[in-house]
Chain A
Amino acid sequence: MIDLAKVSKTFSGKRQVTALEDVDLAIARGEMVAIIGPSGSGKSTLLNLIGGLDTPSSGQIEIDGSRLSGLPDDDLTRMRRDKIGFIFQFFNLLPTLTCFENVAIPLHLRGWPKKKIDERAKELLSMVGLASRVDHLPEELSGGERQRCAIARALSVYPPVLLADEPTGNLDTHTGADILKLIRDLHQRLGSTVLIVTHDPHVAESCERVIALCDGRIVEDRVGKASLRLAQGRQVGDLPYA
C-alpha cells in the first residue's frame, strides 16, 4: 500500500539538515502503524512525505500503486484527497465553519452534489459520535469533540490511508484514550491503513506495528505489544453507525 525506497529528505539552509536518510519502508494495506522517535528524528517529515504535503529530496514513494515523485502539484493534491485522510495534533478545523461544514469541505472540494454531501457528512459525524453537534462551531466543542470532528473530516471519502500526527498530543489522557480507540475502531471497521506519529508509548503499543526513528533512520520495526490484546477489547459494535 505504502512503499518507500531510499527516501531522503534534507532541508537546506545555512546548515544542511538531514531529516530522513535512505529510508526503505513498506506498509501493507490495512496495517495500523505507529511511528515513534525523539524530537527531530524525522517522524513528522516521514508522515508529510507520505501524505504528499512535502516532496523527498531523493528516493521513491508509492501510494496505492501510484508514484508521487514528479507529480505536478494539482495531481499530488488529487492523490491526497482521494487516498489520504489527515488528522492533526491541533485539529486544524476551520474556526468559522460548523462541524458539519468542516466535514463537508473535502467533499465540496471534490465537487460532489449537495445532496450527496449532506448524506455523507451526517453519516461521518454519526460515525464519530458527533451527530448532536452538527451545527456547532469548533470553539463551542471540547478538545475531544474537535478531534472527532477532524477525524470525520479526514474520513470524508473513506480514504484508504489515514495519517495522524500526534492525534492525542493536545488532549488529556482520558480523552486521548477515547480518540485512540475511535481511530482503532475505524481502522478495523473500514479497513484503512493507519499511520500514527506519536510520542506516547501507550498509543504506540496499541498499534499492530511500531517503527522507531532516530536521526532520520529506522532503528526499530516491530509488532506492537498491545496488538493481541486489542482483539479482545471492545468491539466495533460500540460504533454508533454499526
Chain B
Amino acid sequence: MNKTLLVSGCWFLVVGALLGQDARQIVAESQKRGQSRSQQYEGTLEVIGAGNKISLKRWMFERIGSYGASKAILRFTAPAEVKGVALLIVNHQDRASDQWMWTPALERDRRIALQDRSTRFFGTDFSFEDLEERDVNQFDYKFEGEETFDGQPCWKIESKPKESKSSQYTSSLMMIRKDNYVVIQIENFAKDKMVRRIHYSDVQQQDGIWVGRTMEVLDANRGSRTVLKLEKLQYNVPMKEESFTLEALRRG
C-alpha cells in the first residue's frame, strides 16, 4: 500500500477530516489531496549500506497525468557512471504498471518484467513495486485506531492487496496525519514480518499540496537505509504527453 512514493513524494490528505469516515475513505482522501496534473523534482538519493557505506545518486523526475493513470520519467544525473540511465513508468488503473529502462552506453531499452518488481530498485532500498501508483480499489482497508506519531495525531490503517499477485507484500500499516492527510509512515509486511519501512519527514506545503520532502526507506532484511530528498519540487508545470513515450526515453 505504499503507492506513489516517488511519484508524488508523499501521501496526500484531505483537509476535511470528517469524523467517523472509514479507513478506505481516509486513504482515498489522502490520495486525492496529493493529486496534481504534473510534478517535477530533483531527487538526491543516499544509500547507506549495512557497513555504513554511503553511495550518492541524483536524478531528475517528471510526471504527467492523473493519479493511477500517470506516466513518469526518471533520469539519473549522477554519478558519472550512471548518467543518462532512465526509467519510464506507465501506470495503469486496472493492472500493474509497465516499466522500461534505458541504458545509453548500450543504446537500448529493456522492459522491467512484472516478475522482477519485487527486486530492489537499482541498489536502493526501494523495490520496483514501490515506484508504482495503484488504485485505491485494488486494496482492502482496516481501521486500526489512532495514535500520536512524530508528535502528530495519526490514523493507523492496515491495507491488504485484493489479488495475491498484485503485491510482494501481504499487508501494510500506514500512519496518516489527521491534520493534513499526509502519510508519514508505511510499514510493509511479508507474512507477518516487517520487511520494509518508509518514513516521511520534512512535511511542507508546495504549490498547495502537502508533501513530506524527505523519505527514509529501511530494508529490514538487509539492515540498509536509503534517504531520498526532493529538491526543486514543483507541481502543475506544463509538460507534453510526447515526452513520456518509449521514443522519448530513447532520445534521452
> Do chains A and B directly touch (beta carbons under 8 Å) in the complex?
no
User: Chain B interface (Cβ within 8 Å of chain A)?
Assistant: none
